[in-house]
Chains A and B, each alone.
Chain A
Amino acid sequence: MMDETQTRPEHAPEVPPGSRESLWLLVSGPTIWAAHFLLSYLAVSVWCAKVAGRAGPLGDIRIAIGVLTALALTGIALTGWGGWRRHRFGEATLPHDFDTPGDRHRFLGFSTFLLCGLSFVATVFVALSVVFIRSCE
């Protein structure tokens, strides 16, 4: 059982600014990952099928995927930063398990931040493919 009875700290601000929240922020990091993944895959598929041919070079499409990756990573980083700021709102003590709007706000922020971290790494993983591979073969 829990040793200490949990009570909300008296001085914690109750309601965070603009406290209308949804689950969309939580999934935006992975959604950017998914969009990047899908666009990269479709881009090389169309490129290799329609432009360069099966033995052709990846050429410019690598640059395009590089730009796409930079955009995706920026988007993920900004979302993650937003999450981190929510996590730090007020008295930021993990594990954010008080029954208050403040802790709900911090929890959603922290989870958003963690998911952005994972999405960032996964996006880099995928982008590395075009660093090492230069042809459609």
Chain B
Amino acid sequence: MNEQTDYRDPEEEALALAQAERLAKAWKTPKGWRYWSAVNNTEVGLWYTGVSFIFFLFAGVLALLIRAQLAVPENDLLSAETYNQVFTLHGSVMMFLFGVPMFEAFSILILPQMLGARDLPFPRLSAYGFWCFLIGGVFVSGSIFFGAAPQGGWFMYPPLSTSYSEGLGPDIWLLGLSFIEVSSLAAAVELIVGVLKTRPPGMRINLMPLYSWYILVVAGMILFAFPPLIAGDLLFEMERAFDWPFFDVSRGGDPLLWQHLFWIFGHPEVYIIFLPAVALVATIVPTAARRPIVGYSWIVLAAVGTGFISFGLWVHHMFTTGMPAVSLAFFSAASEAVAIPTGVQIFCFLATALAGRFVKSVPMLFVSGALAIFVLGGLTGVMVAIAPFDFQAHDTYFIVAHLHYVLIGGMLFPVIAGIYYFFPLITSKKLSDKLGKIGFWLMFIGFNVAFLPMHFTGLLGMPRRVYTYSADSGFGLLNMVSSIGAFVLAAGVAVLVWDVLRPKGKQPTCERNPWGAGTLEWLVEMPGRAWGVRSIPIIRSRYPLWDQPNLMRDVDAGRFYLPDAQEGKRETLISTIIDADPIQCLRVPGPTFKALWAAIFTGGLFIFATYKLYWLAIASGTLALITILIWLWRDTAIIPAKQTKDIGLGVTLPIYASGAKSVGWWAMFITMIGNMSAFNSLVFGYFFFWTVHDDFPPDNTPDLGFWPVAALVAILLSWALTLWARRLNNLDHASGYYAALGLGALLTVAGAYALWAGPHFAGMDPTSNVYPATVWVLVLWCLIHLGIGLIMQLYCLARRAAGRMTATHDIDIRNVALYWHFMAITLATTVAVIAGFPEVA
């Protein structure tokens, strides 16, 4: 306990110390090799941040190789093939293994602190996501050491990466990164539910820290941005592995479909990387200015508005593909419109800094540098959003300059500001101001020396992705300057790395709330405790540490909610979405290796599939499924010994909640929204082919017969029976429940068979033409989901039989019923498309 804590009397002190001891025991971090079984956000968040920073350094080294190769004309430091691998991995690693995961990592680490929560609602899911990320990342990055890395650029355009790529490179990219996308979706679920449901009492929606607004928006964006890429990866891998011709023009495919799916993901992804970094700026600026943010609502406007409009920009990466001018104009208009909210937030930050009593600090130095660089990148963004200008600049170094100004200004500098700002929160030690300043100036100057000339190199006509250029092209001097700048930038990063890693044993522990911030995360004790907050406070302000007198003292003395862990369990509060009224005391799980094993087996599924070892892949996938089922069976939806709990201050809350009140239901709902957006992308693919072909479906397409309608009837019945089973369970009508759900499961099998039988008996060969391939991929999608739906039905049968689910404790069947709603929509849409559309087309 902190020595500053002052208790009212010895009695209170004795009670508080006993409570603190129990709390510390419940939240204890495992020791020794078991440390790696930790699932608490502070450990997982730290590993996640560390690993994604290592990937950043790795991709940075690749960048230096690129710059070394291009420093002089006709250089032969790298062969063309190695160079292709290097720049492809540089882009892919920076985007997939640093840009996006860094925000997830940071958020897992600090969001609970910021919300005064003990942990996020699904700690094991975070751990699973982290291990998936680590395994997938090492797999993709490691490929370059075997000369097997992908060479097609970070966006893997076919036909370059289908017909003209030998080896496994594209497969490593597709399967490795699909696997990592799983962890992004896991993080999105965790963070959305975290922001909406784990806020402390009193923290109404108008008092949420701006950081959580941004995270909410970004996690929502992930649900709509990543699934199209997963769908695209599926199509791509089916083409590469099984010759289904989605992108092969000779059999009716179209490479442009990949570009659409990739950029429906790829453009929002830029904002998925950018917005969390702005969130850090929105956290740091008010602290530095010693005043609340100016224009809180305007920043919410900017975050939400950017989140939406960023989805209307994807075609601006495809301006030169020959689409109708009016289509280009729509995307050009939206690309200009997105500058409005982006600008609004920058003006809010400037206004806050100007209106407050500005205190200089290293984080603020990086923030200032970030804004300067980002504004330049934003301005060239407005230039390239104008289609005629883009026609000229497309695929030149001008674009390279633009995107690095945006990403380094919009992401890297704010992240480094965040590292300086939050370092004491994690380690109780401050980073060095002196090294910070040296590092900043090296990075800032190095960056501009490296990338400013690239605008001119690009305008002179130097294309991207060339491994060398001739001496008489006139690019030599500018490239040499860029290379020198890149190494200066790298020196700045090296200073940062040294500052982070240098031994700090002799450095005194930093004082609490070292920056004088107003937000809750700075309640953290120095050195930090595993429990997060000693008691969960009542919040009355956007900056509670500034506005609520004695908050820190009362939190430390355990005078708020959940100051104790009588039963030795890990607990946190669940509250309502809008007003943060506490509604449940949630028990969160403790350390386990199950998440790690599940990730290893899931990794096996993807990695074996890359090498076409399908039996091993299936075996590994089965093991992953079994591990996850054991994890669910033993550790979720546990019926508590007592139904309610006194959380302090005279409030008693239920421990168990099901349906829309439970976090699990929300997680299922959010997951299924993401799932539907992947499915919609496949449907989009079908209609995309319809627009590019005069005869789609082709005239000689065989009739699927009655099978699809039979499948639809069976599945809709199965859905209805699942809903009925949910009702019968509530009525405690056991035999009716088993009968309904058992019959439902049988109908699921029958429906799946009927769905498969249609194209199978019609003799549709997916390799012959894109039409059967498209029908088959929709059917395949449904079959996979029906398989999962069947497992869920059987799981619920077993749960009740084992006494782990009752009439009132019904989390499982409610979540399964929710899944089946989406299953019914998916199947109805599929049947309408594959059997109905050919009738009307």
A residues lining the B interface (CB < 8 Å): 1-2, 5-6, 21-23, 26-27, 30-31, 33-34, 37, 40-41, 44-46, 48-50, 54, 58, 94-97, 99, 101, 103-104, 106-108, 110-111, 114-115, 118-119, 121-122, 125-126, 128-130, 132-133, 135-137
- The reply on B239 being an interface residue by CB < 8 A is no
B residues lining the A interface (CB < 8 Å): 202, 204-207, 290-292, 295-298, 300-301, 304-305, 307-309, 311-312, 324-327, 329-330, 332-334, 336-337, 340-341, 516, 518, 539-543, 546-547, 577-579, 691-692
- The contact of B334 among A37, A58, A97, by CB within 8 Å, is A37
Min CB–CB distance B561 → chain A (angstroms): 16
Nearest A residue to B217, CB-CB: A27
Known: A104-B204, A133-B329. A34 touches B312 (CB 8 A): yes
Known: A96-B206, A136-B324. A2 touches B543 (CB 8 A): yes
Known: A22-B578, A115-B304, A118-B341. A54 touches B206 (CB 8 A): no
* Complex A-B: 6 CB contacts under 8 Å: A44-B327, A48-B324, A48-B327, A97-B292, A106-B206, A126-B337
Nearest B residue to A38, CB-CB: B312
Using Cβ atoms and an 8 Å threshold, which residues of chain A touch B539? 99
Using Cβ atoms and an 8 Å threshold, which residues of chain A touch B324? 44-45, 48, 54, 136-137
- The contact of B577 among A23, A34, A125, A126, by CB within 8 Å, is A23
Q: Of residues B202, B290, B329, B518, which shows the largest number of chain A Cβ atoms within 10 Å of its Cβ?
A: B329
Known: A5-B547, A34-B312, A110-B297. A27 touches B333 (CB 8 A): no
Beyond contacts A118-B309, A118-B341: 6 other A-B pairs, Cβ-Cβ < 8 A, are A34-B311, A96-B206, A107-B297, A108-B205, A119-B308, A125-B337
Nearest A residue to B220, CB-CB: A27
A22, B326: Cβ atoms closer than 8 Å = no
Min CB–CB distance A18 → chain B (angstroms): 13
B329, A97: Cβ atoms closer than 8 Å = no
- The contact of B297 among A34, A41, A95, A133, by CB within 8 Å, is A95
- The contact of A37 among B204, B301, B330, B542, by CB within 8 Å, is B330
B297, A1: Cβ atoms closer than 8 Å = no
Nearest B residue to A125, CB-CB: B333
Using Cβ atoms and an 8 Å threshold, which residues of chain B touch A58? 326
A132, B329: Cβ atoms closer than 8 Å = yes
Instruction: Give the CA-CA distance A106 to B297 in the complex, in Å.
Output: 11
Instruction: Give the CA-CA distance A28 to B542 in the complex, in Å.
Output: 25
Using Cβ atoms and an 8 Å threshold, which residues of chain B touch A115? 301, 304-305
Q: Of residues A48, A58, A114, which shows the largest number of chain B Cβ atoms within 10 Å of its Cβ?
A: A114
Known: A6-B541, A30-B309, A33-B309. A111 touches B329 (CB 8 A): no
Min CB–CB distance B833 → chain A (angstroms): 16
Min CB–CB distance A23 → chain B (angstroms): 7
A111, B334: Cβ atoms closer than 8 Å = no
Instruction: Give the CA-CA distance A104 to B807 in the complex, in Å.
Output: 37
Known: A121-B337, A125-B334. A114 touches B301 (CB 8 A): yes
Task: Give the tally of cross-chain contacts (CB within 8 A).
Answer: 144
B308, A30: Cβ atoms closer than 8 Å = yes
Known: A33-B309, A129-B326. A50 touches B691 (CB 8 A): yes
Nearest A residue to B196, CB-CB: A23
Nearest A residue to B684, CB-CB: A42
A23, B205: Cβ atoms closer than 8 Å = yes
Nearest B residue to A105, CB-CB: B206
- The contact of A122 among B207, B334, B540, B543, by CB within 8 Å, is B334
Min CB–CB distance A73 → chain B (angstroms): 14
Using Cβ atoms and an 8 Å threshold, which residues of chain A touch B292? 2, 95, 97
B542, A122: Cβ atoms closer than 8 Å = no
B205, A45: Cβ atoms closer than 8 Å = no
Instruction: Give the CA-CA distance A111 to B290 in the complex, in Å.
Output: 24
A133, B326: Cβ atoms closer than 8 Å = yes
Using Cβ atoms and an 8 Å threshold, which residues of chain B touch A45? 324, 327, 691
Using Cβ atoms and an 8 Å threshold, which residues of chain A touch B330? 37, 40-41, 44, 126, 129
Instruction: Give the CA-CA distance A31 to B307 in the complex, in Å.
Output: 11
Using Cβ atoms and an 8 Å threshold, which residues of chain A touch B577? 22-23
Using Cβ atoms and an 8 Å threshold, which residues of chain A touch B326? 44, 48, 58, 129-130, 133, 135-136
Min CB–CB distance B752 → chain A (angstroms): 32
In the A-B complex, the 9 residue pairs with the smallest Cβ-Cβ separation, listed nearest first, are A107-B206, A129-B329, A30-B308, A122-B337, A114-B301, A125-B333, A49-B691, A99-B540, A104-B204
Using Cβ atoms and an 8 Å threshold, which residues of chain A touch B692? 49
B691, A111: Cβ atoms closer than 8 Å = no
Min CB–CB distance A95 → chain B (angstroms): 5
Instruction: Give the CA-CA distance A30 to B310 in the complex, in Å.
Output: 11
B290, A1: Cβ atoms closer than 8 Å = yes
Q: Of residues B202, B324, B326, B579, which shows the largest number of chain A Cβ atoms within 10 Å of its Cβ?
A: B326
Using Cβ atoms and an 8 Å threshold, which residues of chain A touch B296? 95-97
B329, A104: Cβ atoms closer than 8 Å = no
Instruction: Give the CA-CA distance A104 to B579 in the complex, in Å.
Output: 8
B291, A2: Cβ atoms closer than 8 Å = yes
- The contact of A104 among B206, B308, B333, B518, by CB within 8 Å, is B206
Instruction: Give the CA-CA distance A1 to B544 in the complex, in Å.
Output: 11
Instruction: Give the CA-CA distance A119 to B307 in the complex, in Å.
Output: 12
A99, B207: Cβ atoms closer than 8 Å = yes
Instruction: Give the CA-CA distance A58 to B326 in the complex, in Å.
Output: 9
Using Cβ atoms and an 8 Å threshold, which residues of chain B touch A101? 204, 579
Min CB–CB distance A40 → chain B (angstroms): 6
Min CB–CB distance B73 → chain A (angstroms): 40
Using Cβ atoms and an 8 Å threshold, which residues of chain A touch B204? 99, 101, 103-104
B206, A30: Cβ atoms closer than 8 Å = no
Instruction: Give the CA-CA distance A78 to B591 in the complex, in Å.
Output: 51
A33, B329: Cβ atoms closer than 8 Å = no
Q: Of residues A44, A50, A125, A133, which shows the largest number of chain B Cβ atoms within 10 Å of its Cβ?
A: A125
Known: A21-B578, A50-B691, A104-B206. A30 touches B304 (CB 8 A): yes
Using Cβ atoms and an 8 Å threshold, which residues of chain B touch A136? 324, 326
Using Cβ atoms and an 8 Å threshold, which residues of chain B touch A128? 333
Instruction: Give the CA-CA distance A72 to B204 in the complex, in Å.
Output: 31
B308, A33: Cβ atoms closer than 8 Å = yes
Instruction: Give the CA-CA distance A130 to B543 in the complex, in Å.
Output: 47
Nearest B residue to A132, CB-CB: B329
Known: A114-B301, A129-B333. A2 touches B309 (CB 8 A): no
Min CB–CB distance B420 → chain A (angstroms): 22
Min CB–CB distance B122 → chain A (angstroms): 21
B206, A118: Cβ atoms closer than 8 Å = no
Using Cβ atoms and an 8 Å threshold, which residues of chain A touch B300? 111, 114
B308, A97: Cβ atoms closer than 8 Å = no
Instruction: Give the CA-CA distance A88 to B692 in the complex, in Å.
Output: 51
Known: A45-B327, A58-B326. A125 touches B336 (CB 8 A): yes
Q: Of residues A23, A31, A45, A137, which shows the largest number of chain B Cβ atoms within 10 Å of its Cβ?
A: A45
Instruction: Give the CA-CA distance A54 to B326 in the complex, in Å.
Output: 11
Min CB–CB distance B332 → chain A (angstroms): 8
Min CB–CB distance A25 → chain B (angstroms): 11
Min CB–CB distance B482 → chain A (angstroms): 35
Instruction: Give the CA-CA distance A117 to B292 in the complex, in Å.
Output: 24
Using Cβ atoms and an 8 Å threshold, which residues of chain B touch A119? 305, 308
Known: A34-B311, A44-B327. A118 touches B546 (CB 8 A): no
Using Cβ atoms and an 8 Å threshold, which residues of chain B touch A6? 541, 547
- The contact of A99 among B301, B329, B541, by CB within 8 Å, is B541
Instruction: Give the CA-CA distance A2 to B340 in the complex, in Å.
Output: 30
Using Cβ atoms and an 8 Å threshold, which residues of chain B touch A133? 325-326, 329
Nearest A residue to B538, CB-CB: A99
B308, A31: Cβ atoms closer than 8 Å = yes
Instruction: Give the CA-CA distance A119 to B334 in the complex, in Å.
Output: 10
- The contact of A111 among B297, B307, B309, by CB within 8 Å, is B297
Using Cβ atoms and an 8 Å threshold, which residues of chain A touch B307? 30
Instruction: Give the CA-CA distance A116 to B292 in the complex, in Å.
Output: 25
Instruction: Give the CA-CA distance A128 to B312 in the complex, in Å.
Output: 15
Using Cβ atoms and an 8 Å threshold, which residues of chain A touch B291? 2
A104, B205: Cβ atoms closer than 8 Å = yes
